[in-house]
């Protein structure tokens, strides 16, 4: 826009500032994602940013127990791999906690009474003794290893298998899909009436929609909960049903839907609608054959809004659907996990990522419509 | 899966019911007052009648939903606020007097005010700055997408993300929370950010700012691009520098949009609930109105009267914005 | 058959603003009528009232002898071409033209026949499958016209159909509309424009509106040669007619007036004796003035304040003593006159116009 500043240092400053801000904005999510792919034990002892590069760790592990020893000529030998199949390269090792780095990998350490320990860089070790090994536990081996970045899907396997998250995922979908689709049709008809039909009270209705746009959801909760309980008692059914939450989300989403769609529809060229009228189309024909096809972008953007809002909602779901296992949505589940296993970052990060992955896909896939909808709703 | 299938079936049924209503009512109207193949005078009369009825057929379902889910609850909340915990016995103003002498309420009111000042201001300001900067660089769109992204993340998801950033391990242990790791790296003492009195509120606010800045940025960026280039070129010719152009030429031209962004975020802030519930559940002096209201709704079987009073406070706080919005919409309607 | 008759037609908006007062107009079948006037004169509103898109607040509208005030647009036997074409952007050219017939539940075969016929007529056949956005402005306008033709209406209504086209295309499309009229001599056409050239070239009769009133109805040449009042005189023709305030000195078979510039002119227009000594307005078109050598040969003189050379003609703006407005003379070819020259102008007496103090033409009153 301002070409005159093109060669000034200001431009580099701009690049640097934006880069800095982008990093700040992305790091939290990136951290979550990377952590969710790490081994849960590592997660608890080192920052996720260390997982990206090869790191040097001092570790301790036990060798195979004496019961696994074999006799090779005159020696009793215990063999195994101290890394247990994990990738990594051992640089140093030792047999006592006082000198955990006493020997280089490949050297043979003399323990006592002719017992020796040899650890190869790939983790293979040989414990050898002229007499039989005794005791129940394996010998402790201290080692220093270069461990390359290591990622695993284990957290996701655990989370999706147990802990009800899989069920919650399905519950969330069950809530979201109808709650997104049902309001669209109702809102589109209302929006057309408010935009292009002439009738007394139209201005008041438009003003009401704008007013209801900001009514806090909290207002509605108690009266609706009362009504739901009453209706539930009346028909002898539970007050916490999927139908109930679909209708609730429809009601709460309608003001925005009507407002967005009306703003869009009122902006369609009036001559097109008049032309259709001259062509003999009734309001119903005009709506079906002209308005609906032309409003596709607005319909899409509302659908995205509603989808994100319903999927991400916690409040409405907790009040109208409750927290029983076959009703618990993802956000509720995640919130409960946060309370119950605050320190288990492996499960928490994987669960969090599962809850945000669908909205993120929707976001990246349909961003164009989302932005258009935002603009229709705000810049007028 | 079975459940999902039934959801899909319900969705199809729901949509069909809607479609059936609209088609059916239209069909009925056409049958009762035919406007085709009749004498011109009858057609004219029928047409007058149908044009009078049809808007209400179109609006009917929407009006029913809005009335039941939003309008009636506002009225009922006002009534409930004069009743006791189960909404049965009349207690006069005692819910109100309880409210204003309740320390937790005063605390959440104070916190809400801080949220109201800090979050909309920061998000709008950051959004404006980022919008103006990203418009000038070639990778601006990528930057915008990344900054806009948190918008798609739920408040609970964002809470997990940030709880991880704020994680605290006692001194001497390896810090796995990024913030404490940085503090330790520069030689500081690790802090338990979430329970740090007073300041912990701001650490919660950061989460909402992180989510909302993208929204402000997208809208303000469109507004900035809508500014006629000529005014900026004229300012360049008049010898204004970049900063002067930004604050004296560009910002004044988008005041209207800035106000809209500001009020939209303000409304959101008043309703914020999930973040506090998930991060602290109101402990360590971080209570806010919406969360307090939720607590009262369910505490000990629920106290509807007190919950309604708190909801009314939120409503009163939103009202000025509502009136402003309605007046703006009315002006727009008259403009047509 | 398809006469259009407006009797005491009025338009009052809901905010009590009356935009059309007592319009009376009789349009015969097959006529090409142009509503012309400055913006805000009510010409588009009048057309939209005929189409049924605007309610009629008072008076009656008859089409083909039937009162149409309350009849919906689709049943009035009209078709309308809009300024912005108003094509349905999501439908192909074919579907655009077929839409009204589909609504009327015409059989598929009939629709196809009608659409193809209209497309043939307007050379649109190769484009039938395209969407409007893939067409040029001129093609879009032809589709809009085709959409009107398909309905075989009794009355065509055109609402400024050329104003969105560029100058060259406007001339070409204007000729197409003229051809269209020739090929459908029985259809009545009503055409709204603010451009007097379109009005002059297309119209059988022009209806000149101003401020919600009809100023004059007549053939293009009638309006040019015998304007009913100062407004019409100045609206038709470019540059506008020179109007000089004057005083009537002698009435009778021909009238003698003294101009405000103190010259005296004999105008061959009849005036009543009662007009003696009244204030009046003398009018002469710039193209009817010619430069003469001496004061005696001419009737008005002035100093050249400004010269505009257009190539095929030269416009001289003259400052005339006693006149507030400049007098403009349009001379063929190029002239050597310069700013500051003092020149004399003459005119044929029969080209002169005379209006009374209420700006009405004496020629038509007499």
State ipTM: 0.84
Q: What radius of gyration do chain C's Cα atoms show?
A: 25
How far is Cα C93 from Cα C119, in angstroms, rounded to an integer? 9
Name which of C14, C98, C103 to mutate to probe chain A: the one with the most chain A Cβ atoms within 10 A of its Cβ: C103
- Chain B CB contacts of A314 under 8 Å are 154-156, 273-274, 277-278
Name which of B34, B43, B336 to mutate to probe chain C: the one with the most chain C Cβ atoms within 10 A of its Cβ: B43
Q: What are phi and psi of B315, to 5 degrees?
A: -60, -45
Q: Selecting from 3.40.50.1100, 1.10.3720.10, 3.90.1170.50, 1.20.120.790, what CATH number does the domain A157-378 have?
A: 1.10.3720.10
**Which chain B residue has the Cα nearest residue C72?**
B44
Q: Cβ contact (<8 Å) for B150 and A29? A: yes
Q: Is A279 on the interface with C (CB under 8 A)?
A: yes
- Chain B CB contacts of C70 under 8 Å are 44-45, 47-48
Burial C248-275 (b: 16+ CB within 10 A, else e): beebeeebbbebbbebebebebebeeeb
Q: Cβ contact (<8 Å) for A283 and B51? A: yes
pLDDT at A378: 56
How far is Cα B63 from Cα B56, in angstroms, rounded to an integer? 9
CB A93 within 8 A of CB A141: yes
Across residues C56-62, what is the average pLDDT? 89
Q: Is A258 on the interface with B (CB under 8 A)?
A: yes
- Chain C: closest CA distance from residue B33 (Å): 14
Per-residue pLDDT of chain B (336 residues; tens, 9 = 90+): 677 787 778 778 878 888 888 889 888 888 888 876 677 778 778 878 888 888 898 898 899 999 998 889 888 888 888 887 776 777 777 778 888 888 888 888 888 888 888 999 999 999 998 888 888 888 888 888 888 888 888 888 888 888 888 888 777 677 778 888 888 888 778 888 888 888 888 888 899 999 989 888 888 888 888 888 888 888 888 877 878 888 888 888 888 888 888 888 888 888 788 888 878 877 787 888 888 888 887 766 677 888 888 888 888 888 888 888 888 878 877 655
C-alpha distances out from residue B139 to A21, B88, B130, B134, B242, Å: 13, 61, 13, 8, 20
Q: Cβ contact (<8 Å) for B330 and A379? A: no
Name which of B21, B47, B129, B154 to mutate to probe chain A: the one with the most chain A Cβ atoms within 10 A of its Cβ: B154
- Chain C: closest CA distance from residue A216 (Å): 37
pLDDT at A379: 44
Please check the confidence at residue C308 and state whether its pLDDT lies above 80: yes
Q: What is the DSSP string of B127-188?
A: HHHHHHHHTTSTTHHHHHHHHHGGGGS-HHHHHHHHHHHT----TTSPP-SHHHHHHHHTT-
User: If you ran DSSP here, which 8-state letter would residue A1 be given?
Assistant: -
pLDDT at B234: 85
Q: Cβ contact (<8 Å) for A311 and B175? A: no
**Which chain A residue has the Cα nearest residue C77?**
A278
Please check the confidence at residue C366 and state whether its pLDDT lies above 60: no
> In this predicted model, which residue has the larger pLDDT, C14 or C364?
C14
pLDDT at A380: 39
Q: What is the DSSP string of A85-146?
A: T---EEEEEESSTT-TT-EETT-EEE-STT-EEEE-TTSEEEEEESS---SSSPPEEEEEEE
- Chain C: closest CA distance from residue B48 (Å): 9
- Chain C CB contacts of B335 under 8 Å are none
Q: Report H helices in chain C.
A: 43-51, 93-103, 108-121, 137-150, 167-183, 196-202, 220-225, 230-235, 362-365
What is the CATH code for A54-148?
2.60.40
The domain B95-334 having CATH identifier 1.10.530.10: the answer here is no
C100-156 pLDDT per residue, tens: 888 888 899 999 999 999 898 888 899 999 999 898 888 888 899 898 888 888 899
pLDDT at C35: 93
A42-100 pLDDT per residue, tens: 777 677 777 776 666 677 777 778 877 888 877 888 888 877 766 677 778 888 777 77
**Which chain A residue has the Cα nearest residue C82?**
A271
pLDDT at C115: 92
pLDDT at C189: 92
- Work out the pLDDT band at C205, boundaries 50, 70, 90: very high
User: Would you call C73 exposed, middle or buried from its count of C-beta atoms within 10 A (0-12, 13-18, 19+)?
Assistant: buried
Q: Is A187 on the interface with B (CB under 8 A)?
A: yes
Across residues C77-94, what is the average pLDDT? 89
Please check the confidence at residue C167 and state whether its pLDDT lies above 50: yes
Strand order through the sheet with C66-67: C18-27, C4-12, C58-63, C66-67
Name which of B160, B242, B291 to mutate to probe chain A: the one with the most chain A Cβ atoms within 10 A of its Cβ: B160
**Nearest Cα residue to A191 out of A287, A272, A271:** A287
Across residues C247-259, what is the average pLDDT? 85
The residues spanned by each domain of chain B are 2-62, 95-334
Structural domains for chain C: 4-234 (3.40.50.300), 235-365 (2.40.50.140)
- Chain A CB contacts of B181 under 8 Å are 47, 49
Instruction: Report residues of chain A scoring pLDDT below 70.
Output: 1-8, 45, 53-57, 85-87, 162-163, 341-343, 376-380
pLDDT at A376: 67
- Chain B CB contacts of A210 under 8 Å are 322, 325-326, 329
- Chain B CB contacts of A352 under 8 Å are 157, 160-161
Of B3, B18, B332, the CB nearest to A185: B18
pLDDT at A5: 46
Please check the confidence at residue C334 and state whether its pLDDT lies above 90: no
Across residues C64-70, what is the average pLDDT? 86
**Other C-beta atoms lying within 10 Å of the C-beta of residue A148:** 12
Q: Cβ contact (<8 Å) for C86 and A271? A: yes
Q: Name the A residues in 221-240 with CB < 8 Å from any B CB.
A: 221-227
Q: What are phi and psi of C307, to 5 degrees?
A: -120, 130
Q: Is A283 on the interface with C (CB under 8 A)?
A: no
pLDDT at A85: 67
Length of chain C: 366
Q: Cβ contact (<8 Å) for A272 and C87? A: yes
The residues spanned by each domain of chain A are 3-49, 54-148, 157-378
């Amino acid at each position: 826009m301002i070409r005159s500043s093109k060669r000034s240092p200001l431009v580099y400053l701009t690049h640097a500032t934006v880069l800095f801000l982008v990093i700040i904005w992305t790091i939290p999510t990136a951290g979550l994602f990377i952590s969710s792919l790490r081994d849960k034990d590592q997660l608890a002892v080192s920052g996720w940013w260390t997982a990206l590069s090869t790191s040097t760790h001092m570790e301790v592990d036990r060798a195979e127990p004496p019961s696994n020893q074999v006799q090779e000529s005159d020696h009793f030998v215990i063999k195994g791999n101290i890394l247990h199949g994990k990738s990594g390269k051992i640089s140093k090792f030792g047999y006592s906690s006082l000198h955990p780095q006493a020997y280089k990998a490949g050297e043979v350490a003399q323990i006592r009474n002719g017992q020796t320990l040899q650890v190869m860089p790939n983790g293979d070790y040989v414990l050898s003794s002229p007499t039989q090994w005794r005791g129940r536990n394996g010998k402790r081996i201290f080692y220093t290893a270069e461990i390359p970045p290591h990622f695993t899907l284990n957290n996701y396997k655990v989370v999706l298998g147990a802990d009800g998250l899989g069920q919650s995922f399905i519950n969330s979908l069950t809530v979201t899909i109808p709650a997104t689709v049902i309001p669209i049709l109702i809102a589109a008809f209302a929006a057309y009436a408010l935009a292009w039909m002439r009738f007394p009270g139209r201005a008041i209705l438009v003003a009401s929609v704008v007013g209801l746009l900001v009514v806090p959801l909290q207002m509605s909760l108690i009266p609706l909960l009362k009504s739901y309980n009453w209706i539930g008692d009346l028909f002898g059914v539970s007050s916490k049903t999927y139908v109930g939450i679909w209708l609730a989300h429809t009601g709460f989403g309608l003001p925005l839907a009507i407002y967005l769609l009306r703003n869009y529809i009122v902006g369609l060229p009036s001559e097109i609608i008049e032309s259709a009228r001259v062509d003999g189309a009734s309001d119903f024909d005009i709506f079906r054959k002209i308005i609906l096809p032309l409003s596709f972008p607005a319909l899409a953007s509302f659908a995205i809004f509603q989808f994100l809002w319903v999927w991400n909602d916690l409040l409405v779901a907790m009040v109208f659907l409750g927290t029983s296992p076959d009703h618990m949505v993802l956000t509720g589940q995640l919130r409960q996990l946060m309370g119950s296993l605050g320190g288990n970052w492996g499960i928490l990060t994987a669960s969090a990522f599962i809850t945000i992955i669908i909205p993120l896909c929707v976001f990246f896939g349909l961003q164009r419509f989302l932005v258009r909808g935002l603009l229709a709703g705000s810049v007028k | 899966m079975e459940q999902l299938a039934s959801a899909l079936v319900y969705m199809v049924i729901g949509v069909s019911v809607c479609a059936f209503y609209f088609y059916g009512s239209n069909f009925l109207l056409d049958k009762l007052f035919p406007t085709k193949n009749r004498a011109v005078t009858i057609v004219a009369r029928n047409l007058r009648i149908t044009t009078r009825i049809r808007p209400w057929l179109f609006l009917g379902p929407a009006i029913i939903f809005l009335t039941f889910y939003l309008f009636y609850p506002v009225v009922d909340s006002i009534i409930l606020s004069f009743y006791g915990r189960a909404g049965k016995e009349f207690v006069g103003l005692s819910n109100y007097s309880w409210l204003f002498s309740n320390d937790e309420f005063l605390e959440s009111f104070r916190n809400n005010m801080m949220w109201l000042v800090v979050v909309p201001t920061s998000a709008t300001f950051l959004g404006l700055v980022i919008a103006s900067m990203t418009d000038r660089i070639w990778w601006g769109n990528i930057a915008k997408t990344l900054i806009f992204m948190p918008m798609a993340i739920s408040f609970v998801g964002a809470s997990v993300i940030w709880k991880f950033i704020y994680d605290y391990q006692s001194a001497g242990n390896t810090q796995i929370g990024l913030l404490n790791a940085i503090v330790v790296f520069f030689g500081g003492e690790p802090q338990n950010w979430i329970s740090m009195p007073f300041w912990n509120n701001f650490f919660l606010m950061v989460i909402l700012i992180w989510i909302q800045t993208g929204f402000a940025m997208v809208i303000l960026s469109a507004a900035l691009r809508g500014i006629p280039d000529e005014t900026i070129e004229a300012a360049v010719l008049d010898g204004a520098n970049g900063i002067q152009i930004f604050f004296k030429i560009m910002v004044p031209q988008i005041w209207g949009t800035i106000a809209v962004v500001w009020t939209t975020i303000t409304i959101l802030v008043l309703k914020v609930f999930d973040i506090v519930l998930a991060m602290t559940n109101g402990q360590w002096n971080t209570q806010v109105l919406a969360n307090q209201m939720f607590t009262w709704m369910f505490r000990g079987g629920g106290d509807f009267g007190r919950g309604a009073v708190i909801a009314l406070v939120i409503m009163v706080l939103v009202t000025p914005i509502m009136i402003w919005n309605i007046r703006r919409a009315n002006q727009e309607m008259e403009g047509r | 058959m398809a006469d259009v008759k407006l009797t005491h037609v009025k338009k009052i908006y809901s905010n009590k603003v009356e935009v059309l007062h007592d319009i009376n107009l009789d349009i015969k079948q097959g006529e090409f009528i142009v509503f012309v006037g400055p913006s805000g004169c009510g010409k588009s509103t009048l057309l939209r009232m005929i189409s049924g898109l605007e309610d009629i607040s008072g008076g009656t509208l008859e089409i083909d002898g039937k009162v149409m005030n309350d009849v919906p647009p689709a049943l009035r036997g009209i078709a309308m071409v809009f300024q912005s074409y108003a094509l349905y952007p999501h439908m192909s050219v074919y579907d655009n033209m077929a839409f009204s017939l589909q609504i009327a539940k015409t059989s598929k075969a009939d629709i196809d026949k009608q659409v193809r016929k209209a497309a043939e007529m307007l050379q649109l056949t190769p484009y039938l499958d395209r969407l409007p956005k893939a067409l040029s402005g001129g093609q879009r306008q032809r589709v809009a016209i085709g959409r009107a033709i398909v309905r075989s209406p009794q009355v065509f209504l055109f609402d400024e159909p050329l104003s969105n086209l560029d100058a060259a295309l406007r001339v070409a499309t204007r000729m197409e509309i003229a051809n269209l009229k020739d090929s459908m001599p029985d259809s009545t056409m009503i055409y709204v424009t603010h451009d007097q050239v379109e009005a002059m070239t297309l119209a059988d009769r022009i209806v000149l509106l101003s401020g919600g009133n009809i100023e004059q109805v007549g053939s293009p040449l009638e309006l040019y040669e015998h304007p009913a009042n100062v407004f019409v005189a100045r609206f038709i023709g470019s540059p506008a007619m020179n109007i000089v305030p004057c005083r009537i000195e002698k009435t009778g078979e021909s009238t003698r007036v003294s101009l405000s510039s103190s010259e005296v002119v004999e105008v061959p227009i009849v005036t009543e004796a009662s007009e003696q000594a009244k204030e009046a307005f003398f009018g002469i078109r710039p193209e009817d003035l010619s430069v003469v050598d001496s004061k005696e040969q001419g009737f008005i003189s002035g100093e050249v304040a400004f010269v505009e050379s257009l190539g095929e003609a030269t416009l001289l703006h003259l400052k005339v003593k006693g006149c507030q407005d400049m007098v403009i003379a349009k001379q063929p070819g190029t002239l050597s006159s310069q700013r500051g020259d003092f020149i004399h102008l003459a005119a044929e007496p029969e080209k002169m116009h005379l209006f009374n103090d209420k700006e009405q033409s004496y020629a038509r009153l007499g």
